[in-house]
């Protein structure tokens, strides 16, 4: 129970052929709701920090405190770290795990920049996720339908060998944001990638993928499922509704349980989907 590294959670999930849900959180209340839901379901969960909102130091302090007091396993990670500097900023702030994403660059460049981050991160005992095959934007159909952009099994093997990453996000037909049309994950490709590596695999762009496909992907080797857009939208709606009907005698901190009530079904549903047998 308590704070774990992402790698510890993914290795455990891999053994059980399950996945750990990972949610982008921009605010303290969003983080707390994820932890409460995970405790209720009795599964692990990962809080993701997307740079640009609160500082890495603030996120780390809050996440560590929530994890240490949790009755289930909790971890947190930098999501889509854009540079060595941002990655180091998170390591300095105490993150147990980080992601570095140079998947938009040519293979060799992605290898070179990822390797640099992994080398330093490992010195500090921090594990690293990287990305191969660029998971693009869901508003561009080609980003998730053009299979020539997907991860290639031989490159996955080479990338892991050269960089030493601890987990890998692979592009198999998902994208970030709101999908223009229903995505269709390349599950055969995933099966092949999972066959050629033991490193835990990550699915980005989980929001809006039909749940049955996500479940299949978990059976075929995905150990971390990322959801950003859906949770962000649900939480914003929950806040809007709560604030519209706010009892004027209540302080803002007293409203947190009301947000939780409105997102709990969504969060618990996701957690059951990725964790139940
Ligand atoms: Zn992502």
SS (HEC) of 126-165: CEEEEEECCCCECCCHHHHHCHHHCCCHHHHHHHHHHHCC
Please tell me the predicted confidence (pLDDT) of residue 252.
87
pLDDT for 1 beyond 90: no
Please tell me the predicted confidence (pLDDT) of residue 44.
98
CA of 45 to the centre of ligand 1 (A): 16
CA of 106 to the centre of ligand 1 (A): 18
Please tell me the predicted confidence (pLDDT) of residue 3.
97
Name the average pLDDT for the chain: 96
Please tell me the predicted confidence (pLDDT) of residue 261.
92
Q: Which of 195, 194, 184 is nearest to 222 (CA)?
A: 194
pLDDT for 41 beyond 90: yes
CA of 245 to the centre of ligand 1 (A): 34
CA of 258 to the centre of ligand 1 (A): 28
- Higher pLDDT: 277 or 13? It is 13
- Is residue 232 annotated as part of the catalytic site, yes or no? no
Positive or negative: CA dihedral 270, 16, 130, 212: negative
Gap between the Cα atoms of 113 and 163, Å rounded: 9
Distance of CA 55 to the CA centre of its chain: 18
Going by pLDDT thresholds of 50, 70 and 90, the confidence category of residue 63 is very high
Report the range of poorest mean pLDDT among 93-97, 115-119, 174-178, 246-250.
246-250
The enclosing H or E element of 4 equals: none
When pLDDT is averaged across residues 97-124 and rounded to a whole number, the result is 98
pLDDT for 248 beyond 90: no
CA of 224 to the centre of ligand 1 (A): 11
CA of 185 to the centre of ligand 1 (A): 15
When pLDDT is averaged across residues 114-118 and rounded to a whole number, the result is 98
Which residues of the chain form beta strands (DSSP E)? Answer: 2-3, 20-24, 45-49, 73-78, 97-99, 127-132, 167-170, 201-203, 222-227
CA of 251 to the centre of ligand 1 (A): 35
Please tell me the predicted confidence (pLDDT) of residue 253.
87
CA of 226 to the centre of ligand 1 (A): 7
pTM of the entire structure? 0.96
CA of 48 to the centre of ligand 1 (A): 10
Gap between the Cα atoms of 196 and 248, Å rounded: 59
Q: Considering 73, 79, 143, 186, which one is annotated as catalytic?
A: 79
pLDDT above 90 as % of the chain? 92
Dump the DSSP string for 215-272: HHHHHTTEEEEEE-HHHHHHHHHHHHHHHHT--TTS-GGGGHHHHHHHHHHHHHHHHH
Q: Are 90 and 60 in contact (CB under 8 A)?
A: yes
pLDDT for 186 beyond 90: yes
Report the range of poorest mean pLDDT among 50-64, 87-101, 227-241, 245-259.
245-259
Q: Are 153 and 193 in contact (CB under 8 A)?
A: yes
Gap between the Cα atoms of 2 and 9, Å rounded: 11
Positive or negative: CA dihedral 204, 209, 213, 216: positive
């Amino acid at each position: 129970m308590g704070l774990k590294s992402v790698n510890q959670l993914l290795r455990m999930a891999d053994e059980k052929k399950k996945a750990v849900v990972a949610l982008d959180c921009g605010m303290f209340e969003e983080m707390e709701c994820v932890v409460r839901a995970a405790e209720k379901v009795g599964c692990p969960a990962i809080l993701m920090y997307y740079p640009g909102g609160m500082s890495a130091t603030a996120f780390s302090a809050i996440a560590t405190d929530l994890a240490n007091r949790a009755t289930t396993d909790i971890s947190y990670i930098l999501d889509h770290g854009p540079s060595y500097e941002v990655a180091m900023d998170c390591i300095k702030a105490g993150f147990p795990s980080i992601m570095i994403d140079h998947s938009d660059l040519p293979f060799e460049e992605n290898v070179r920049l990822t390797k640099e981050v992994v080398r330093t991160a490992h010195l500090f005992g921090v594990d690293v996720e990287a990305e191969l095959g660029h998971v693009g934007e869901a508003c561009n159909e080609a980003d998730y339908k053009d299979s020539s952009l997907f991860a290639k099994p031989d490159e996955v093997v080479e990338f892991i060998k050269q960089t030493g990453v601890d987990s890998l996000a692979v592009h198999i037909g998902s994208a970030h944001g709101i999908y223009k049309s229903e995505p269709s994950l390349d599950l055969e490709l995933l099966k092949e990638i999972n066959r050629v590596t033991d490193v835990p695999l990550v699915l980005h762009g989980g929001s809006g993928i039909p749940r049955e496909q996500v479940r299949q992907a978990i059976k075929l080797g995905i150990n971390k499922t990322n959801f950003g857009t859906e949770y962000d939208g649900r939480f914003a709606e929950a806040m809007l509704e709560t604030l519209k009907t706010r009892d004027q005698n209540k302080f803002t901190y007293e409203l947190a349980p009301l947000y939780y009530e409105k997102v709990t079904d969504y969060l618990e549903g996701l957690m059951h989907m990725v964790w139940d047998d």
